[in-house]
Chain A
């Protein structure tokens, strides 16, 4: 708070009684809203712990019957969730790493050196990120069927149905957002730092690698958390660009399990919780990075 004036303090004191009442109402309101917002997840959790037979007998709006982890075990065994988790890691880790690497390269050039076309590049990246995916999928799909790709990156010689292809499109699409955030962040680093390095005879690459990269670590952390969640949550790209079910990442695979799970809502709930769990853990563990990643730039933190 700034040096808010003494008058404000006195106003507050006068209004104290009124404030207390509104506070109670505010708390009651926010608390009930928080409960409403948490309820769907809590209900999914509750349902996932109940055996199907019990809910079939008692109905879903009921208490009682058994509570156990059977649905989770079943989801893992019949649903092959373990395999899909591994697939997700194969996509997410390289995708996040490459996105941040390429975005930092672009952001470094755009923010630290002045070219006439800097702004044009920034706009290109930003606008690309705003496009609805469906605008590009038709040609992209065909491109992936044509573009050659040697082993070991591809086992069929093309981009289609390969982790590489899915990673590539994630990187290309997410580059826009990350370049934008990182270039904003880098602009806050005083130019004197780079200039000193230049005077010391450092090359551009050294400045990028040794001077700037260490300074943008906080932004990297925030973006890494955010991008991991986003790429993990992606349903669309893998669905479109993969054929072999055994290669699908978990978020896309979950939809395929519906065939197995069709009327067993309890199992479905367990599957949903399992898939949601990693992102929720990331959120609770790194809430600060998560939020600062989203808002980085909009507040110039």
Chain B
């Protein structure tokens, strides 16, 4: 899963908005009938592709979540079961609450560790000291790796018998630790590797934002005798509000999307249950539980709607200015 949201391309400077309304009106007046058709196609084709393959399935997920279907045979074999799937989900389905907890831990870890660290690196690199390019490249490099690769590298480090970590600990006489099999350890172990990648991502976004901050603000603060820490928290951070929101949205969405690492390491069993993996495990398999898997997907959707709306309202405000 790639870690990106359109949010990373947030428009921040309203002055580059669309042309004044009067001009635009004039534009339209000049359009011939043929031009209108061309425009309709230019927008219609991409919109159709996107709606058909993204939004139609999203709505279908919501509908299917109230049904029971093993995924075989025609649509006539779908049975409406009301909120049964949701009831089973919260009452009897064992991995549901662990998955919610793990997604929250994932979010918490990203919020409290990975994202602040990324911001911290960005602030340090913003000083443009010598070697910045090297530091930036090194810290950013994991971002170009797929999470599948990150999962493999994590196993090189964490495997019980052949992993580097146990190898090093063993040379100090420490007994091997079951990093990936111990359900109270494995989530934290893979979070470190997830963060290895996330930090660079946040860093690069934030760094770009910092470059856009008017330098005179900082100079002025310095003249007033503010320390660097004060300058950052009182002057820079508030000015960076748009980027902060982007980073916040990314952090939340990435935590909800967490999938590859857990899936590669043990298919989301035993301590690595995540909502995304539960959805996947329910729709694949010989007797898939389409309705039930959809109900989990809807839970995921509902949680994701918050940050999406936050992001959209901000975009809306920027656009309408």
Given a CB threshold of 8 Å, the question of whether A touches B is answered with: yes
At the interface, yes or no: B93 with Cβ under 8 Å from chain A? Answer: no
Contact of A43 among B52, B159, B164 (CB under 8 A): B164
| A residues in contact with B148, CB < 8 Å | 233, 235, 251-252, 254-255, 275
Chain B proximity of A146: nearest CB distance (Å): 9
| A residues in contact with B205, CB < 8 Å | 294-295, 298
Q: Interface residue count for A (Cβ, 8 Å)? A: 121
At the interface, yes or no: B113 with Cβ under 8 Å from chain A? Answer: no
Taken together as a complex, chains A and B put the C-alpha atoms of A43 and B246 apart, in Å, by 33
Closest to A48 in B: B156
Contact of A235 with B147 in the complex, beta carbons under 8 Å: yes
Contact of B5 with A177 in the complex, beta carbons under 8 Å: yes
Taken together as a complex, chains A and B put the C-alpha atoms of A138 and B310 apart, in Å, by 26
Contact of B141 with A41 in the complex, beta carbons under 8 Å: yes
Taken together as a complex, chains A and B put the C-alpha atoms of A105 and B311 apart, in Å, by 24
Taken together as a complex, chains A and B put the C-alpha atoms of A215 and B49 apart, in Å, by 25
> Which candidate, A65-73, A150-158, A262-270, is the interface stretch facing chain B?
A262-270
| A residues in contact with B209, CB < 8 Å | 295, 298-299
Contact of B283 among A41, A138, A208 (CB under 8 A): A138
At the interface, yes or no: B232 with Cβ under 8 Å from chain A? Answer: no
Contact of B216 with A4 in the complex, beta carbons under 8 Å: yes
Write out, one digit per residue, whether chain B residues 51-68 have a CB within 8 A of any chain A CB (1) or not (0). Answer: 111111110110010000
| A residues in contact with B164, CB < 8 Å | 43, 60-61
Taking residues whose C-beta sits less than 8 angstroms from the other chain, chain B's interface range is: 35 or more
| B residues in contact with A188, CB < 8 Å | 16
Contact of B146 with A233 in the complex, beta carbons under 8 Å: yes
Contact of B55 with A128 in the complex, beta carbons under 8 Å: yes
Contact of B208 with A34 in the complex, beta carbons under 8 Å: no
Contact of A177 among B6, B16, B157 (CB under 8 A): B6
**How many A-B pairs fall under 8 Å by CB?**
386
> Which candidate, B33-41, B104-112, B182-190, is the interface stretch facing chain A?
B33-41
Taken together as a complex, chains A and B put the C-alpha atoms of A133 and B50 apart, in Å, by 13
Contact of A275 among B23, B56, B146, B296 (CB under 8 A): B146
Contact of B145 among A55, A110, A233 (CB under 8 A): A233
At the interface, yes or no: B174 with Cβ under 8 Å from chain A? Answer: no
| B residues in contact with A21, CB < 8 Å | none
Q: Which of B25, B43, B214 has the most CB of A within 10 A?
A: B43
| B residues in contact with A11, CB < 8 Å | 222-223
Contact of A105 among B43, B71, B170, B301 (CB under 8 A): B43
Contact of B264 with A255 in the complex, beta carbons under 8 Å: yes
Contact of B156 among A44, A111, A231 (CB under 8 A): A44
Secondary structure type dominating chain A contacts: helix
Contact of B27 with A134 in the complex, beta carbons under 8 Å: no
Q: Given A61-B167, A295-B205, are A132 and B147 also a contact pair (CB < 8 Å)?
A: no
Write out, one digit per residue, whether chain A residues 242-266 have a CB within 8 A of any chain B CB (1) or not (0). Answer: 0000000001101100000001010
Contact of B9 with A187 in the complex, beta carbons under 8 Å: no
Write out, one digit per residue, whether chain A residues 162-182 have a CB within 8 A of any chain B CB (1) or not (0). Answer: 000000110111011101110
| A residues in contact with B19, CB < 8 Å | 191
Write out, one digit per residue, whether chain A residues 194-233 have a CB within 8 A of any chain B CB (1) or not (0). Answer: 1100100001110010000000000000000010011111
Contact of A34 among B21, B134, B280, B301 (CB under 8 A): B134
Residues 98-143 (chain B) with a chain A CB within 8 angstroms: 121, 124-125, 127, 129, 131, 134-135, 137-142
| B residues in contact with A124, CB < 8 Å | 47, 50-51, 55
Write out, one digit per residue, whether chain A residues 263-293 have a CB within 8 A of any chain B CB (1) or not (0). Answer: 1010011011001100110111001001100
Taken together as a complex, chains A and B put the C-alpha atoms of A59 and B279 apart, in Å, by 39
Closest to A59 in B: B167
At the interface, yes or no: B239 with Cβ under 8 Å from chain A? Answer: no
Taken together as a complex, chains A and B put the C-alpha atoms of A179 and B200 apart, in Å, by 24
Closest to A165 in B: B53
Contact of B211 with A143 in the complex, beta carbons under 8 Å: no
| B residues in contact with A137, CB < 8 Å | 57, 279-280, 283, 297
Q: Given A106-B43, A138-B279, A187-B18, are A8 and B259 also a contact pair (CB < 8 Å)?
A: no
Contact of A272 with B153 in the complex, beta carbons under 8 Å: yes
At the interface, yes or no: B30 with Cβ under 8 Å from chain A? Answer: yes
Closest to B27 in A: A113
Residues 151-203 (chain B) with a chain A CB within 8 angstroms: 152-153, 155-157, 159, 162-164, 167-168, 170-171, 193, 196, 200
| B residues in contact with A5, CB < 8 Å | 219, 223
At the interface, yes or no: B236 with Cβ under 8 Å from chain A? Answer: no
Contacts A/B (CB < 8 Å), 22 sampled: A30-B124, A31-B135, A41-B153, A55-B162, A102-B45, A106-B47, A113-B28, A123-B315, A129-B6, A130-B249, A135-B300, A175-B46, A195-B23, A234-B2, A255-B264, A271-B152, A276-B145, A276-B146, A280-B144, A287-B137, A291-B140, A297-B9
Given contacts A37-B142, A105-B41, A114-B21, 12 further A-B contacts (CB under 8 A): A8-B222, A30-B131, A33-B121, A37-B141, A43-B157, A106-B43, A135-B304, A173-B53, A276-B149, A294-B204, A295-B9, A300-B212
For the complex of A and B, 5 pairs with smallest distance between CB atoms: A233-B146, A297-B9, A295-B208, A139-B60, A172-B53
